[in-house]
Structure 1
Amino acid sequence: MSLIAGVLPAAVLIAGVLALAWLGFASRKLGWSRFLVSVVVSCLLTGLLYLLAEMVFHWWNASLPRLLYLFCALAILGVQLALPQVTTSGTRVHRRAAGVVAALVVVLALACTVNIAYAQYPTLASLFSPPSPEDDPLPLPSAPRSDLPAASEQNWTPPPDMPSQGKVYRQQIPGPVSGYASNPALVYLPPAYLADPGAVNLPVLVLIHGQPGAPADWLISGGLTEMMNSFAARHQGLAPVVVMPDLSNAGNSNWPLCMDTTVSNSATYLAKDLPAWVQQELGAGTAGPQQWAVGGYSFGGTCAAQLAANYPQVYPTFLDIAGENEPTVASGHEDLLEIYFDGNEDSFREQNAVDRFKAARYPDTAGIIVVGRDDKVYAPEGRTVYDAARAAGADVQLQQLPGGHSWQVWKAGLQQNLDWVCTRLGILEP
């Protein structure tokens, strides 16, 4: 059952409105002056939340839909109106219980509006029973061979007992060259890989999550397993091996920028350590860079552009979904330079995607840059990346999808371009 459209979210929002109206009616004995004080306090607390969240602690960025602050103010008002119902001496038990329930319903309605805005939990199942990786170890081929031809619909015949669906596994991918510290990655293996004998030399799609976020967001909010299994069902069990690395630097408070910096060598990890491990251990992506693509949303979209610009010989195909025009930190560019580059602007510019596109030619690179139609912050930045990549000779497209900076755009950005990616990767014919 959907949590972002249809009957259930509508019912929750209607219940929230009714609960707030009942609380207002039940508080009528307190008088209009007390009610107006509650309204003023709600506005002040919401304004304080705005200042703390966006000016002081930078809990979220400017892409937060401003309408959510209105819903937050209404929720704070509801809680205030519920307090007299609960705390006033002599109030009957059922009245106290009704006040508690009404306040909870108002807060639940606020949570529902936030979820509708970001589509973080698209269904009840994604909230209460989210998809998770297999508990079994990653099934590695006994002897991966680098001389196998790249798997495609033309040279692959599925065996009769091929599994009907692919699976996701949790796997630690080491960083011997970069020294990068990483939490376990998630790896999707399609039915053709799990078949016996399998199409071992499949292409590889590296997908990077947002910030805040984790690889599991691709499963919970992005529906990646279902998306890939659906694609495989239409193409003889073939789909890319999808690697979803951890880009939190094992929980480091200073996240990597998909650059090599004083914090970590995350670019080397993603461009050298990860591909080497996949080729050696999985026997996938061994036919050359034409079998490799990188994509991501928000922070991950910025990373995808970074890797495409700095390592076109590794990732000649990229999908930048609502990324920035350069890596940022909430405290500003000067702090970014101090934290990651010892204050050296030139060191930053040497790796920044837009600057790299301006300094070199990319005739073999192709990419799609996806922006949300209602995303007033990231959409203009995506166009900047598009203009720079196009001027550098890359074969790029700019797509505008309905929605803002949310999973409505991020999920569709991958789903609607999966055929294009797989054509580039050689599974489908051009």
Structure 2
Amino acid sequence: MHAPRVGESAVSLTSTTLPVVLALAAAAVFALLASGRPRVRRPWAATGARAAGLLVLNVLVVALVGAELNDHFDFYVSWSDLAGAQAATTVTHHGATARSAASTRLPSGLRPATSLPALPSPGERVQHYTVTGARSGVRGQVDVLLPAGYSTATATSYPVLEALHGYPGTTDSWLTGMGVEGALDRAVADHSIKDAVVVLPQINLPYAVDSECVDGPAGTPQVETWLAHDVPQFVVDHFRVRTDRSSWAVAGYSEGGWCAAMLGLRHPAVFGGDIVFSGSFTPEFSRGYRPFGSRVPGRYQLAAVVRRDPPPLAMWVQASKKDGYAYPPTAAFLKSVRAPLSVTTDLLKTGGHREQLWAGELPTALSWLGRSVPGFSP
């Protein structure tokens, strides 16, 4: 059983407590009616009391059946989601507050740089690199979107957003389909978020392999290590960025959404913020690459990870109820959420699994990041 959500009753809609409470209440009302209670002398009053009792009993039974069906089919993830059943978008909160989760201090594994090399393309906002990870041994492409007017000559240090594409996808997917440059510039101009360095690493390694960003057995790509350690350290060694976790966030969509969720939950010392667009919470390997065979290791079953040891991480999770890939695992994952983890959900009544939808939700996600993760606050 998980802890109550912030702003909701002690008995959450998806907790195991709710059906028990409803069943006990129904049993108590039935017992009262069967024993002839309440005993009222006036016949008309007795009839009214009995009718009221039967009505309450029926409501409790219907509510019990509804709670069991909701638990099985995940129609609604919380009371606030149920209350907004007719709304196009429902926002819910689970666990701790986002700011408290992102502000928790953890020892960072990032080493501050003593000096910075020159940019390969001075004056351009997008820089292109090929990087070999010192810890992972992985070699892949890393593109970096710089803030307008970025200069190594100034003392300004920026927060970092590591943005992960889906499958199939490339490092420029966030620049083209997602339109991250324009969305971020507009959010900065609106004072919704502080300007940031956006890192766009290759995640499917070797190229075109659906890696799911995992560290496979010996002899397979160590993509998790590449994304959680090598890429962040490369960024610190080459750009004026901050190293505290409250100034780092990871984001992704589809396969990249799973990767973002996994990286944030498994590496909270690096990432204080986490943005998931239509992601899963367990890896979904394609037929061409199954590094673990038919059994996925427990460390990649994120609902179980959170149930056992939730990290202090601020997450923003988007899913559409029409999205068969993302919504069922999202609803199941939310049942395990408790403090110090914080999850804000952006649940769409309609939509699907497509880049145009995620691009439209990106301004909302950036605004949340600016409000919730201190290093991104303007």
Shorter-chain TM band:
0.5 to 0.7
Q: Which amino acid aligns with 1:385?
A: F
* Residue 420 of structure 1: aligned partner: 368
Deviation at 1:318, TM superposition (A): 0.5
SS at match of 2:256: helix
Query: How many residues of Structure 1 are paired with residues of Structure 2 in the alignment?
Result: 258
Question: Are 1:386 and 1:398, in contact at CA under 8 Å, matched by a contact in 2?
Answer: no
Structure-2 change in CA distance of 1:284 and 1:321 (3 Å): same
- Structure 2 distance, partners of 1:237, 1:310, is 25
Alpha-carbon distance in structure 1 between the residues aligned to 2:236 and 2:297: 30
**Preserved contact between residue 297 and residue 321 of structure 1 (Cα < 8 Å):** yes
Q: Quote the offset at 1:351 in angstroms.
A: 3.1
1:2-401 aligned within 5 A: 143-144=115-116, 167-182=125-140, 184-194=141-151, 197=154, 199=156, 201-235=157-191, 238-251=194-207, 253=209, 255-262=210-217, 263-286=220-243, 288-331=244-287, 339-341=290-292, 345=295, 348-362=297-311, 364-388=312-336, 390-391=337-338, 393-401=340-348
Check conservation: 1:301, 1:320, Cα contact below 8 A.
Answer: yes
Q: CA deviation at 1:278?
A: 0.9
TM-score (norm 2): 0.62
Cα distance in structure 2, aligned partners of 1:328 and 1:193: 38
- The C-alpha deviation readout for 1:334-388, integer Å capped at 9, x for no partner, is x86xx31266x3x6112332222122132x2110110124323322222223333
384 and 329 in structure 1: CA distance in 2 versus 1, 3 angstrom threshold? same
Q: Would the alpha carbon gap of residues 166 and 386 (structure 1) be closer, same or farther in structure 2, given more than 3 Å must change?
A: farther
- Residue 237 of structure 1: how far off its partner (Å): 10
Q: Which has the higher contact order (CA 8 A, sep 6+)?
A: 2
Name the CA distance, whole Å, in 2 between partners of 1:237 and 1:297.
20
**Paired residues of 2:175 and 2:181 also in contact (CA < 8 A):** yes
More helix by share: 1
Task: Report the secondary structure of 2:127's partner residue.
Answer: strand
Q: 1:422 to 1:415 in 2, by over 3 A?
A: same
Distance 1:197 1:330, change over 3 A: closer
The one-letter code matched in structure 1 to 2:347 is Q
CA distance in 2 between counterparts of 1:356 and 1:413 reads 27
When residues 360 and 236 of structure 1 are mapped into structure 2, their CA distance, relative to the original with a 3 A threshold, is closer
* 1:185 alignment partner, SS class: strand
The 3 A distance-change label for structure 1 pair 215 and 264 is: same
CA contact (8 A) 1:166 1:225 kept: no
Which sections of structure 1, spanning at least 5 residues, go unmatched? 1-140, 146-164
State the SS of the aligned residue for 2:241.
coil
Cα separation, partners in 2 of 1:143 and 1:245, compared to 1, 3 Å: same
- Conservation of the 8 A alpha-carbon contact between 2:273 and 2:315: yes
Q: Is 1:408 matched up with 2:356? A: yes
User: Which whole-Å CA distance do the structure 2 matches of 1:177 and 1:197 have between them?
Assistant: 30
> C-alpha separation between the residues in 2 aligned to 1:376 and 1:260?
26
The amino acid of 1:308's aligned partner reads: G
- Cα RMSD for the two superposed structures: 2.9
How many angstroms apart in 2 are the aligned matches of 1:142 and 1:313? 21
1:421, 1:237 → 2: CA distance?
7
Identity %: 25
Amino acid at match of 2:343: V
CA distance in 1, matches of 2:155, 2:206: 33
Q: Distance in 1 between matches of 2:271 and 2:353?
A: 25
The unaligned stretches of length 5 or more in structure 2 are 1-112, 118-122
